[in-house]
Structure 1
Amino acid sequence: MAEGIPLNDQIPFPLFCREHTCGQNAILACSALKKLYRRILENGEFSCQNESGQQENEGPPAPLKILFVHLDGPMDLIASRLRKRKGHFMPLTLLQSQFDTLEPPSAPESFITVSLDGSISEIVAEIEAYIRKTY
């Protein structure tokens, strides 16, 4: 992405497979834009290979309990925030590709949608309140 090239389905799979196998409680921030990517984060991918080309999983791993937080906002708002970032890997030129790729979460996925209209502290407070109430 730093080179101005959007991610494709060949790039995220190994990353998502490694994240699934960590087996610890974690908060992971990523652009799991497609339902397939979110399924891999929850369930793993049977054909994941490590860097030496060896199979990492023998069979289906146990599904993880994951809450996906869909940060929702109009492209012009997100573009204005991207313009303010200094030294970030995501160039503004790739924003449209992110919107084109996005498959918003839907049932039966475990998710909440949070509007980006609020301040960062309001957004975080909404997410924290949901987690406290639900988990």
Structure 2
Amino acid sequence: MTMTTVGSFLSEKLGWTMYEGDDYHPKENIEKMASGAPLTDQDRTPWLLLLHDIIQREMAAGTNAILLCSALKKLYRQLLLFGRGGSCERDALEGVVFAYLHGSFQLIQARMQARTGHFMSPSLLQSQFDALEPPSPAENAITVDIQNGTPEIAAEIELALSARM
């Protein structure tokens, strides 16, 4: 079970468009991760700004969508919300909810090692845990434990979303 699996399940259940953030990485980022080198903030910024544009487009259209990405740091979540501008209409932000899929290093490592066809080396997991700044409730975030199966995780996210809408 991966973030993509949960996102796909939830997208199908809710009828929302899903965007897989990994599909928007530039070639250089993909090559870097495939070689086992972690991305820097500088590497991630153009990618996050592109994902910000997707969020803004969906919000302007008044549609609901799911965007999958590892917004590991508060800075990354701020870039997703505000772009380079640093501010935005507060009301617009209420439409963006971060779902933080929380799990132990060992569980995530085992799931990464079991997946096939992804460019990110499982050896990069430690660098992601090192960079991780879990979102706070002030960031309009929900935390979901990933020990359960996909239907249970998706149901928990759906319940939290319905309480916020």
TM superposition score category, shorter chain reference: 0.7 to 0.9
Aligned residue in 2 for 1:56? none
Alignment of 1:89-128 (within 5 A): 89-128=119-158
Aligned residue in 1 for 2:69? 30
What CA distance in whole angstroms lies between the structure 1 residues aligned with 2:134 and 2:119? 23
Aligned residue in 1 for 2:107? 77
Aligned residue in 2 for 1:49? none
Q: Which amino acid aligns with 1:77?
A: L
Kindly indicate whether residue 49 of structure 2 is the aligned counterpart of residue 17 of structure 1. yes
Q: Is the 8 A contact 1:44 1:61 kept in 2?
A: no
What CA distance in whole angstroms lies between the structure 2 residues aligned with 1:71 and 1:107? 14
SS in structure 2 opposite 1:69?
Answer: strand
| Higher share of residues assigned helix | 2
What CA distance in whole angstroms lies between the structure 2 residues aligned with 1:5 and 1:14? 18
SS in structure 2 opposite 1:96?
Answer: helix
- Cα 1:107–1:121 change in 2 (3 A) is closer
Give the superposed CA RMSD: 1.7
Q: TM-score, normalised by structure 1?
A: 0.83
5+ long unaligned stretches in structure 1: 47-58
Q: Which amino acid aligns with 1:129?
A: L
Aligned residue in 2 for 1:52? none
Kindly indicate whether residue 126 of structure 2 is the aligned counterpart of residue 87 of structure 1. no
Aligned residue in 1 for 2:82? 43
Pairwise CA distance, 1:9: 0.5
Q: Deviations over 1:24-43 (max 9, x none)?
A: 14211001101001011111
Q: Deviations over 1:81-104 (max 9, x none)?
A: 111101111211001001000000
Pairwise CA distance, 1:61: 5.1
4+ runs of 1 displaced by more than 2 Å? 59-65
5+ long unaligned stretches in structure 2: 1-32, 59-63
Answer with 35-44 or 18-27: which moved more. 18-27
Q: Which amino acid aligns with 2:113?
A: R
Answer with 7-16 or 17-26: which moved more. 17-26
